[in-house]
Amino acid sequence: MRARNKIRAISGGRQTLTIGQVAQLSGVGIETIRFYEREGLIPEPPRRESGYRDYPPEVVKRIQFIKKAQELGFSLKDAKELLSLRIKPNTTCAVVKTKASQKIASIDEKIQDLERMKSALAKLTTACDERGPISECPILDAVEAGIFQAQSKGEKR
């Protein structure tokens, strides 16, 4: 009953991981890892004689990146694109830069939107403090003022 078994590969000896270890370390299910492999999100790992997948530890970070990207509203396809953005000898720099700056732009947009949401929520708590004769739903007020749409037009409610 050696629970130590689980971390054997990490703490010493062998430098590779089984799929189960990868799953545990990255916080996803085994099936998800095989799914990502099928979808080309993570590379096919080498196999042992037994046919077992033999993972390098880096794959854990890659999977965590994928999960993060998803939480931030990117699809798996987006995540794949992000991960494949790299400088390869025969890729022109211009191409990489173009793609990267597109991604940066879309990230900036998300950040802006999140900031607007955040300030709407902040307004809500403030209104709560003041307990004055304030509208009963500041978020909707913000929404109705077009927080995401009319922002740059200088409109007000």
Partner DNA sequence: TTACGGCCTGTACCCCACTACAGGGTCAAT
Partner DNA sequence: ATTGACCCTGTAGTGGGGTACAGGCCGTAA
| Residues of the shown chain interacting with a copy of itself in the complex, contacts defined by CB under 8 A | 58, 61-62, 64-65, 68-73, 82-83, 85-89, 93, 96-97, 100-101, 103-104, 107-108, 110-111, 113-115, 117-118, 121-122, 124-125, 127-129, 131, 134, 136-140, 143-144, 146-149
**Which is nearer to DNA, 84 or 98 (by Cβ)?**
84
Residue written as token pair 């978020």: 139
53: phi then psi, degrees, rounded to nearest 5: -70, 140
Residue 25 CA to residue 15 CA, distance in Å, equals: 14
**Which is nearer to a copy of itself, 76 or 124 (by Cβ)?**
124
Q: Considering the complex, what minimum distance in angstroms separates the CB of residue 138 from a copy of itself?
A: 8
117 touches which of DNA, a copy of itself, none (CB within 5 to 8 A by kind)? a copy of itself
130 touches which of a copy of itself, DNA, none (CB within 5 to 8 A by kind)? none
Residue 2 CA to residue 76 CA, distance in Å, equals: 37
Measured at the CA of 128, the angle between CA 134 and CA 114, to 5 degrees, comes to: 95
Q: What is the DSSP string of 19-65?
A: HHHHHHHHTS-HHHHHHHHHTTSSPPPPB-TTS-B-B-THHHHHHHH
Question: Residues 55-94 vs DNA: string with x where CB under 7 A?
Answer: -----------x---x----xxx-----------------
